[in-house]
Structure 1
Amino acid sequence: MVDKEKIRSEYIFFTKKLIERNISITTMESCTGGLISSLITDTEGSSAIFAGSLVTYSNNAKIMLGVPSETIKKYSVYSEETAKAMATAARNTFNAMIGIGITGTTGNIDPNNAEDSVPGKIYFAISSKEKTESFRIELPPQNSRADYKFLAAEKILEKLILFTKSM
């Protein structure tokens, strides 16, 4: 069972640290549908470090907002390369210090990208001006799409904490 309140409280703690350190952050989310943004903005004062986010559920939305169509064609929409392009596009769009890009499949096969869609396989990237790191995680079967999203958010936060330690 996914402990959503625990994940929410961990994001609040993390966001308070970003505010204290004046580290701006933004997201381009696909499979999490804006959950990461929501978790960050649950913290009072988060507007000091969170300018906005992009929910790009379709391939066309990703392309319109800065992900090269060649990246999606060559590597698929579900890839570390696409997640990197999403993170960089989000960071550039909002002129943030950190950009996060998330793509993957939660629960069922995506009919628009069926050949590359694997339920529970999530790709994400974290980007700063100095570096971009990408990750692939495979989540065990969950009871709901919301559980997949929260579990992905928890895994992303683990990497975000490590990423921001050096900033």
Structure 2
Amino acid sequence: MGKKYIAQSLVQKLKKSNYLIATIESCTGGLVANLITDITGSSQVFWGGRVVYDNNAKIALGVDPSIIDTHGAVSYETARSLAEKGLAELQKHSMIKGDNDYNDPKHFICVATTGLAEQDPDKNLEGGVCWIGIASSNINMTFVERVNASPLLTREETKLEFAKKALKFVEKNI
């Protein structure tokens, strides 16, 4: 399935279900947001996104530093916190009325990615690993999933694979 089809399908489902989405991305570096905004009409469902590549950027978003210290930036716990902090930011700021293209969404959802596209032998870290977190306003749970990419993929291919899996994970959970 091509990236355009995956994003188109998600945007249609977001519209139909009256969702507004935000992205918080580390390892995907903005690719999830890019895939969504490549679709005509995505401004009706896409609020915005952040790239929080550095740990200090994650902390500035609101992730407790002890989560990163204890579990690492590439972890279930960090993905969960990123998604929840992103959802809180989306809900807070989207309530400000103004000129926007979306029509009073009933639901808010945030997808977050944190991972490692390549192996880092200096830090003994496994590459090709991504944690995807999804927090939604209409449920009291945050879903987190670990995905792995083939070690045969390039860095760019790995990032794209993670971004496509994030889109599929969101669509599965709305």
Task: Determine the structure 2 residue equivalent to 1:35.
Answer: 31
TM (normalized to structure 1)? 0.86
Task: Determine the structure 2 residue equivalent to 1:99.
Answer: 110
Q: CA contact under 8 A between 2:79 and 2:114: conserved in structure 1?
A: yes
Bigger RCO (CA 8 Å, 6+ sep): 2
User: Which moved further from structure 2: 19-28 or 73-82?
Assistant: 19-28
More strand by share: 2
Structure 1 counterpart of 2:129, one-letter code? K
After TM superposition, give the deviation of residue 16 of structure 1 in Å: 2.0
Q: Show structure 2 runs of 5+ residues with no match.
A: 92-106
User: Which moved further from structure 2: 73-82 or 150-159?
Assistant: 150-159
Q: CA contact under 8 A between 2:6 and 2:168: conserved in structure 1?
A: no
Spell out, residue by residue over 1:7-42, the C-alpha distance to the aligned partner (whole angstroms, 9 max, x if none).
Answer: 222111211221232211111100000000001111
Structure 2 counterpart of 1:154, one-letter code? K
Alignment of 1:4-153 (within 5 A): 6-95=2-91, 97-109=108-120, 114-115=123-124, 117-129=125-137, 130=139, 131-153=141-163
Structure 1 counterpart of 2:54, one-letter code? S
CA distance in 2 between counterparts of 1:42 and 1:153 reads 13
User: Which moved further from structure 2: 72-81 or 136-145?
Assistant: 136-145
Q: CA contact under 8 A between 1:102 and 1:125: conserved in structure 2?
A: yes
Structure 2 counterpart of 1:125, one-letter code? G
More helix by share: 1
Q: What SS does the aligned partner of 2:35 have? A: helix
Which protein has the larger Cα radius of gyration, Structure 1 or Structure 2? 2
Q: Show structure 1 runs of 5+ residues with no match.
A: none
Task: Determine the structure 1 residue equivalent to 2:100.
Answer: none
Identity %: 32
Structure 1 counterpart of 2:134, one-letter code? I
Q: What SS does the aligned partner of 1:24 have? A: strand
Q: CA contact under 8 A between 1:19 and 1:45: conserved in structure 2?
A: no
TM (normalized to structure 2)? 0.83
CA distance in 1 between counterparts of 2:50 and 2:86 reads 7
Q: CA contact under 8 A between 1:104 and 1:123: conserved in structure 2?
A: yes
